[in-house]
Amino acid sequence: MMFVHLGGNVVVPVKNIIGIFDLDKTTISKNTRDFLKVAEEEGFVEIISEDLPKSFIITETNHKSKIYLSPISSVTLMKRSVFI
């Protein structure tokens, strides 16, 4: 099984990643902001570093979704997942 380091102490299996998104570019949309707000209110969001988040990663494990806010750029995370 291959893994991707998302930042902090968080590593997830590549097969569990649904999407990797740039926080600045995607939160221009009100729909994305609303989605992240509801996800945070319902406890699906995990902030993995005290640094300013640059991306968010949607994952699913055992039919349960989780969103990670990462200080690592979406471009870097995509490169990490493609090299695997």
pLDDT digits (tens, 9 = 90+) for 20-58: 999 999 999 999 999 999 999 999 999 999 999 999 999
Residue 63 has what pLDDT?
A: 94
Report residue 51: phi and psi, to 5°: -70, 160
Domain span holding position 34: 3-83
| pLDDT (mean) for 14-19 | 94
pLDDT for residue 71? 97
**What are the strands, taking DSSP E only, across the chain?**
3-7, 10-13, 17-22, 45-47, 55-61, 64-70
- CA triple 58-68-29, angle to 5 deg: 65
| Residue-averaged pLDDT of the chain | 93
pTM for the structure as a whole: 0.91
Total of domains in the chain: 1
Torsion of CA 60, 20, 12, 76, to 10 degrees: 180
In this prediction, residue 83 carries a pLDDT of 60
